[in-house]
Amino acid sequence: MQSPCHYATHWIIKCKIAYSCSIKISASLSGLPTAIMPLLRSFARSLRRLYRTLPLLTLLAASFFLPAQAVNAIDQTFPVRLSRDEHLLLEQVVCGQKYGVAAADIDARAFDAKAGKANYADVRCRPHARLRDQPLYYVAQCARADNQWSCGQAELETIVALKERKLRIRPGTVEPAVAYDAISKVSTYGYFQGNSIDAALQSTCNMGMGKTADLIEISCQRWSVTVSFWCPASPQNSACPRVIYMAERQ
């Protein structure tokens, strides 16, 4: 059985923006027991205050221990149309200032169907390069608090052309070409301990280097997969890199 820290590692890879997570926590408290609502509201406010002073990793580790109802608030969102000024602001902050490209898409969302303003927005920049004939581009999530927008650090994203579909991945700390090739290979392996690898690889997959240089951690929606590039001496037709761990998060 894996320790809670192992699962926390996969959650950390998947959730990158602690500030917006704290806003999602606040918005999801209505379904929780009344007795613990003040405590969780206070914790969410603390996350927002700490966002500007503590490392992102610490905040994400803390968010792992919150109830699933709070974390899954993103599933209850509604599209919102940004004003022209807001659109230009997010485009410039995420794409223009550092990368010199325009925004390809900004998906703004609110937690209330009747809300006139967005709570957060996913920003996708236009491609700046190509990898394996697929576009390379940056994405970031921005959150609004008290009429102010704050954006997390942009992440590199690309598309892996699988056999019958396309999969969005974010290489993270993995070299992009290595990440692309690893996903391409393991997607063809079939099953690992009775679980379909291909079915587990659903957009968007976040990736990161593991505890040792030969390990890559992959987190795709509900599934966590660990891939190892350490392959014992074996026949040439053996799969490498190897899938050594796979689990579905509840």
Candidates 134, 177, 172, 166; CA nearest to 154 is 172
Candidates 143, 158, 152; CA nearest to 203 is 158
Q: At what angle do helices 18-27 and 56-63 cross, to 10 degrees?
A: 30
Mean predicted confidence (pLDDT) in 152-179: 96
Q: What is the pLDDT of residue 114?
A: 86
Say which residues have a Cβ less than 8 Å from residue 101's Cβ, sequence separation at least 6.
95, 125, 126, 127, 128, 137
Q: Is the pLDDT of residue 61 over 90?
A: no
Condensed to tens digits (0 to 9), the pLDDT of residues 196-224 reads 999 999 999 999 999 999 999 999 999 99
> pLDDT band for position 116 (50/70/90)?
confident
Q: What is the pLDDT of residue 15?
A: 43
Q: Which range (45-49, 175-179, 206-210) has the least confidence?
A: 45-49
Q: What percent of the chain has pLDDT over 90?
A: 61
Condensed to tens digits (0 to 9), the pLDDT of residues 183-194 reads 999 999 999 999
Domain boundaries, the chain: 17-75, 78-152, 163-248
Q: What is the pLDDT of residue 146?
A: 84
Q: What is the pLDDT of residue 39?
A: 53
Q: What is the pLDDT of residue 115?
A: 85
Q: What is the pLDDT of residue 50?
A: 43
Q: What percent of the chain has pLDDT over 70?
A: 68
Q: What is the pLDDT of residue 28?
A: 40
Average predicted confidence (pLDDT) for the chain? 78
User: What is the SS3 assignment for the chain?
Assistant: CCCHHHHHHHHHHHCCCHHHHHHHHHHCHHHCCHHHHHHHHHHHHHHHHHCCCCCHHHHHHHHCCCCHHHHHHHHCCEECCCCHHHHHHHHHHHHHHHHCCCEEEEEEEECCCCCCCCCEEEEEECCCEEECCEEEEEEEEEEEECCEEEECCCEEEEEEECCCCEEEEECCCCCHHHHHHHHHHHCCCCEECCEEHHHHCCCCEEEEECCCCCEEEEEECCEEEEEECCCCCCCCCCCCCEEEEEEECC
* Spatial separation of the C-alpha atoms in residues 83 and 102, rounded to whole Å: 17
Q: What is the pLDDT of residue 209?
A: 95
Q: What is the pTM of this model?
A: 0.70
Condensed to tens digits (0 to 9), the pLDDT of residues 94-111 reads 999 999 999 999 999 999
Q: What is the pLDDT of residue 23?
A: 35
Condensed to tens digits (0 to 9), the pLDDT of residues 121-132 reads 999 999 999 999
* Spatial separation of the C-alpha atoms in residues 235 and 53, rounded to whole Å: 52
Q: Is the pLDDT of residue 175 over 70?
A: yes
Q: Is the pLDDT of residue 64 over 50?
A: no
Mean predicted confidence (pLDDT) in 235-246: 82
Condensed to tens digits (0 to 9), the pLDDT of residues 12-44 reads 333 444 433 443 343 344 344 545 544 554 554
Q: What is the pLDDT of residue 250?
A: 79
